[in-house]
Amino acid sequence: MFKKNALLSVYHKDGIVEFAQGLVALGWKLYASGGTARCLKEACIPVTDVAELVGGGAILGHRVVTLSREVHAGLLARDIPEDTTELEKLGISWFDLVCVDLYPLEEAIANPDNDLAKIIEMIDIGGPTMISAGSKGQRIVICDPNDRQFVLEMLESDEGEVSASMRETLAAKADKVVAAYRLLSACYRSLGQYDGLIGGRVAACKYGENGWQTPAALYSTETKDPLALDQFKLVAGTAPSYNNYVDLDRLLQTITHLAATFDFNTGSVPLIAVAVKHGNPCGAAIGTDPLVVLQKTVMGDPEAIFGGLVMTNFPLGEREADILLSYGLPNGRRLLDGIITPSFSDEAIETLKRKKDKCRFLVNPALSHLSQTSLDTALRFRYVRGGFLGQPNYTFVFDFKHEALQQFGGITDQQKSDLLLAKAVCDTSNSNTITIVKDDMLIGNGTGQMHRGWAAKIAIDKVVYAHHTTFGSVAASDSFFPFPDGPKMLCQSGVAVILATAGSVKDEEIKNLITEAGVTLIWLPDAVGRGFFGH
């Protein structure tokens, strides 16, 4: 049987020369398609052009190059006498290794200057076919440039071979790459008729939402998003749980909306800290002093924060850690499930550690650079029985200068700042939600209620229970008030400004109730400003 033949065909040529040189040094014979063959010849690497195997060069405007039995028989033949004898009889080389990367279809689709005809020209056929053939033929299949070096190292080892288990791992990746590529084409060409997700497991979780829900894991769709969950690095503590990852995603929704809202309305992003419990903010604050911001965050709902996660857009040192640990608790310590920041000092981690490493410490430097561009704009999917729902992401940013905004009454600069905080928190909490903020601090968040009046009551009750005051505060609602009970409670509690949407048959009655109570009302049409999230 013919051995040590490699077939190379790559769109991106970076690193292919070095890889080919490594194979040649090991005694491999190289075959390559047109552009790759030229690249290797220019580097004085011995290579045979695939065209010599198939009896001619590329045809049909380069649409057909490697699509021939001379190539695919060499990839699909089995290591049995019948197949190897037939290959020898036909004069077809057996390929042990295939290294291919694909035309950049995703980049082509993202380019607004490309029409359907240009996109079609960038749909690779030969590449995916060679990858699939190599996978089925149980060859060494390399479709990720990052895999070339360790494959070389395995070939250079004493065994001089890639193990069967690693071949299967590479084959599975190859099938995934082809599937994702074909899905991308199907989604684009069907104009949304078809859609889906393909991801690779990047972290295993001990269990899911409950102990009996196993296995559970985090899968990455390999985006280039610097705030993707797989870009957060665990630097101390035990591995994040399934629920931790869910909360991390919700924290990102809130903190990025806060950053975008302030950046858009004020031209700068303040220091931000957010604490969540079961996905909903139970503490949030903005400011210029990290110590004060953290003090306000932990005291927003000082009991609910226990067992929660905290995220900041600023680093944590020992002084910040002391506040998270014990501010407001003279005789105890605050137990947190996780803390996520751009970076920690060693002293901060040591201060906040829990027994059995139950507190997770995650870092991502991208948190230091949040802005209007930090919002997640990818489609959001949700499993439902028998399929999934898909919708555009929630990217609304409140704008005080919006042409449809109506304001009834006066408002101070501090109250404007408070409303920006309240609206971002409200719109990233489970609907229905009423959010109360005062002096750049979340003091009451009534979330996930079936009745908007109860959302208002719960928000007020939380303010009172935490020994805050609603007098002079602002309140945001994630939709309109269908009945006057909610705004009536807010007005009677001392709230000074209410931000809501208009769209109820009782709008006029509710507007009169609020303004006659001496409370400022700020309105946006429900079609513009509704903030339902996590429905």
Residue 1, pLDDT > 60, answer no
Contact assessment for residue 32 and residue 54, using Cβ atoms and an 8 Å cutoff? no
Q: Which domains does the chain have, with CATH numbers?
A: 5-189 (3.40.50.1380), 229-374 (3.40.140.20), 401-529 (3.40.140.20)
Total number of residues shown for the chain: 535
Return the axis-axis angle of helices 507-516 and 485-493, rounded to nearest 10°: 10
> What residue type is assigned to position 36 of the chain?
T
Residue 300, pLDDT > 70, answer yes
Q: Which of 60, 74, 66 is nearest to 9 (CA)?
A: 66
Cα torsion 456, 458, 464, 467: sign: negative
Q: At 111, is the pLDDT very low, low, confident or very high (cuts 50, 70, 90)? A: very high
So what's the pLDDT on residue 2? Answer: 43
Return the axis-axis angle of helices 148-156 and 16-25, rounded to nearest 10°: 10
C-alpha 306/C-alpha 294 separation (Å) is: 15
* Residues 348-385 as b or e (16 or more Cβ within 10 Å = b): bbebbbeeeeebbbbbbebbeebeeebbbeeeeeeeee
Q: Which of 117, 73, 109 is nearest to 181 (CA)?
A: 109
Return the number of other C-beta atoms located less than 10 Å from residue 395's C-beta: 12
* pLDDT, tens only, 241-285: 999 999 999 999 999 999 999 999 999 999 999 999 999 999 999
Return the number of other C-beta atoms located less than 10 Å from residue 92's C-beta: 19
Contact assessment for residue 272 and residue 374, using Cβ atoms and an 8 Å cutoff? no
C-alpha 321/C-alpha 347 separation (Å) is: 8
* Full-model pTM: 0.92
So what's the pLDDT on residue 441? Answer: 98
* pLDDT, tens only, 149-195: 999 999 999 888 999 999 999 999 999 999 999 999 999 999 989 99
Residue 397, pLDDT > 90, answer yes
When the pLDDT of each residue in the chain is averaged and rounded to a whole number, the result is 94
Q: Which residues contact 134 (CB under 8 A, 6 or more apart)?
A: 75, 95, 98, 100, 140, 141, 171, 174
233 or 33, which is more confident = 233
Contacts made by residues 298-303, CB under 8 angstroms, sequence distance 24+: 298/323, 298/324, 298/327, 298/328, 298/334, 299/327, 299/328, 299/441, 299/466, 300/275, 300/441, 300/442, 300/443, 300/466, 301/442, 301/444, 301/445, 301/462, 301/466, 302/328, 302/466, 303/466
Range with the poorest average pLDDT among 43-57, 333-347, 392-406: 43-57
Q: At 3, is the pLDDT very low, low, confident or very high (cuts 50, 70, 90)? A: low
Strand, helix or coil at 430?
coil
Contact assessment for residue 185 and residue 103, using Cβ atoms and an 8 Å cutoff? no
Backbone angles phi, psi at 38, to 5 degrees: -60, -45
- The percent of residues above 70 in pLDDT, for the chain, comes to 99
C-alpha 100/C-alpha 451 separation (Å) is: 57
